[in-house]
Amino acid sequence: MDAAYLSDWANLLLRWLHLITGVAWIGTSFYFIGLDNQLDPPKDGNPRVAGEQWSVHGGGFYHKQKYLVAPERLPEKLHWFKWEAYWTWISGFCLFVLIYWGQASTYLVDPAVLDMAPWVAVLASAALLAGGWVAYDLVCRSPLGENEATLGAIGAAALAAVAFVSCHLFGGRGAFLQVGAMTGTIMVANVAMVIIPGQRKMVEAMRRDEAPDPKYGRWGKQRSVHNTYLTLPVLFIMISPHYPMTWQSRWNWVVLLAIGLSGALVRQFFVLRQKGRNAVWLPAGAAAVVALLVWSGAPERGAGAADAPAFAEVQTIVASRCVSCHAARPTMEGFAAPPKGVVMETPQQIRRWAAAMRQQVQTEAMPPGNLTEITEEERGKLLAWVAAGAPAQ
Ligand code: HEC
């Protein structure tokens, strides 16, 4: 069995795991943020209970009470939420290494952006990954971290800077995923390095019959709130590889920033709504931003519409620029099977994929990193052929 084939399976299994653990993590995270925002003052007068909620789910009634700072005695059994987050990161990191580091010359490096050796790209990617967390954590712990509004503004500026740098180092798709991996790493590190250690200290204090220090609760809460705003932007980034019109655009770092901030606005709408406020301008603003992106990114009508070339010419271009990967048995190193099942060896096959070809060729997503060095003229010809209805002659 060859390595590329096994790598496809590793890709599938890791992605599946990443999705499952991510759903579990985000589910509990959204649930607890919502719960916190919807707590009512307790009815039974226990002074340690800060708030409570009754709810009904799955055929039963639930009565939840939040203790601030802690209950009088440590309960015998305490459920922790951490493995969902840890496994999301472990699976995501392995996937990132497998695709973006393992095949850096295809997915991370784009000579049209910056010509660098794959190992240099991998080093830069790793440094950004670690540096992002260190910088974020330092700012949160500094006096700046005490004001949520300041922190929010710094966060937005930092996202802009990271998106800019990443999109000027790597090919668009890799750049987006780099920012996503950095953000995801920050979110999981918040759990592993701040929230869980703080909770441990609180539990240990209670075991020693001491009052737990409320600052750990505050710190944990702050990071958990940050995570909630990062969730929607990260989820967009994780699905972005399917949508080259986002990361192949010339202003891709602005697109990343705009969609990321729109996601945070939408999340803010839900957080406020849970608190009983209805700030509809938030999702309206997000929709306006996205509408602006859709409008401004639209390709000019008839772009590249030279006279449609004869089909034989199309076939020659495809054979020299696409088929090394898109063949039943690819000759390109690292490909065990045709990517996405797209095979373009016979005339029928080429015509079958014409519409998909337009999207991929127009956005310059294909060939990835322009590995096969397609020319602008050839792109124009392929597009003109598709625009003319992909004729068979
Ligand atoms: C270096 C290998 C390589 C070359 C050369 C290449 N592709 Fe691809 N192609 C890929 C990979 C990898 C994917 C899957 C991308 C992904 O994971 O979303 C893909 C996916 C596609 C898809 C499916 C997109 C989707 O998401 O449904 C189309 C269509 C496509 N390529 C067309 C082309 C065309 C047209 C050319 C030539 C101009 C070309 N490719 C050249 C590697 C290549």
pLDDT at 363: 82
Ligand 1 center from residue 198 Cα (angstroms): 47
Do the beta carbons of residue 361 and residue 369 sit within 8 Å? no
Q: Write the pLDDT tens digit of every residue in 70-84.
A: 888 888 899 999 999
User: What's the gap in Å between 55 CA and the centre of ligand 1?
Assistant: 49
CB 252 within 8 Å of CB 168: no
Atom 31 in ligand 1: residue holding the nearest Cα: 366
CB 325 less than 6 A from any atom of ligand 1: yes
CA of 256 to the centre of ligand 1 (A): 22
Task: Compute the chain's Rg from CA coordinates.
Answer: 25
Report the candidate in 67, 257, 27, 291 with the shortest Cα–Cα distance to residue 158.
257
Which tokens sit at 47? 């002074």
Q: How far is the CA of 27 from the CAs of 30, 82, 233, in angstroms?
A: 5, 13, 16
Identify the pLDDT of residue 304.
52
Work out the end-to-end distance of the chain between its first and last CA atoms, rounded to an integer number of angstroms. Answer: 41
Q: Which amino acid is at 191?
A: V
Quote the Cα angle for 173-24-270, to 5°. 80
Average pLDDT over residues 171-197: 96
- What does the pLDDT look like over 293-306, one tens digit per residue? 999 888 765 555 56
46 φ, ψ (degrees, to nearest 5): -70, 115
Is the distance from the beta carbon of residue 129 to the nearest atom of ligand 1 less than 6 Å? Answer: no
Q: CB of 249 within 8 A of CB of 255?
A: yes
DSSP-assigned states of every residue in 293-310: HHHHHPPPTTTT--PPPP
Structure tokens at 62: 């639930």
Instruction: Give 286 Cα–ligand 1 centroid separation in angstroms.
Output: 31
Indicate whether residue 340 lines ligand 1 (CB < 6 A). Answer: yes
- Three-state DSSP at 77 gives coil
DSSP tag of 275 = T
What residue's CA is closest to ligand 1, atom 38? 322
Determine if ligand 1 sits within 6 Å of the CB of residue 7. no
Where residue 234 falls among pLDDT bands split at 50, 70, 90?
A: very high
Axis-axis angle for helices 3-37, 83-96 (nearest 10)? 150
Ligand 1 centre distance from Cα of residue 336 (Å):
14
- Longest alpha-carbon distance in the chain: 85
Partner residues linked to 53 by β-bridges: 64
**Stretch 152-164: mean pLDDT:** 94
- pTM, entire model: 0.85
* C-alpha of 4 from chain center: 25
pLDDT of the residue at 301: 58
Measuring from atom 36 of ligand 1, which residue has the nearest CA? 322
Q: What percent of the chain has pLDDT over 90?
A: 72
- Ligand 1 centroid to Cα of residue 313, in Å, is 19
156 CA from centroid of ligand 1 (Å): 33
Give backbone dihedrals phi and psi of 345, rounded to 5 degrees, phi first.
-95, -40
- Whether 226 is in the pocket of ligand 1, judged by its Cβ within 6 Å, is no
Per domain, the residue ranges of the chain are: 3-33+75-297, 38-68, 311-387
pLDDT band at 370 (very low <50, low <70, confident <90, very high): confident
Q: Is the CB of 339 under 6 A from ligand 1?
A: yes
CA of 8 to the centre of ligand 1 (A): 15
Give how far the C-alpha of residue 312 lies from the chain's centroid of Cα atoms, to the nearest Å.
41
Q: How far apart are CA 181 and CA 179, in angstroms?
A: 5
Separation of CA 366 and ligand 1 centre (Å): 5
φ, ψ for residue 303, nearest 5 deg: -60, 135
On average, the pLDDT of the chain sits at 92
Q: Whose CA is nearest to atom 14 of ligand 1?
A: 339
Task: Lowest mean pLDDT of 18-22, 304-308, 372-376, name the range.
Answer: 304-308
* 315 in contact with ligand 1, CB cutoff 6 A: no
Which residue from 314, 318, 342, 345 has its CB within 8 A of the most atoms of ligand 1, so it is best to mutate? Answer: 342
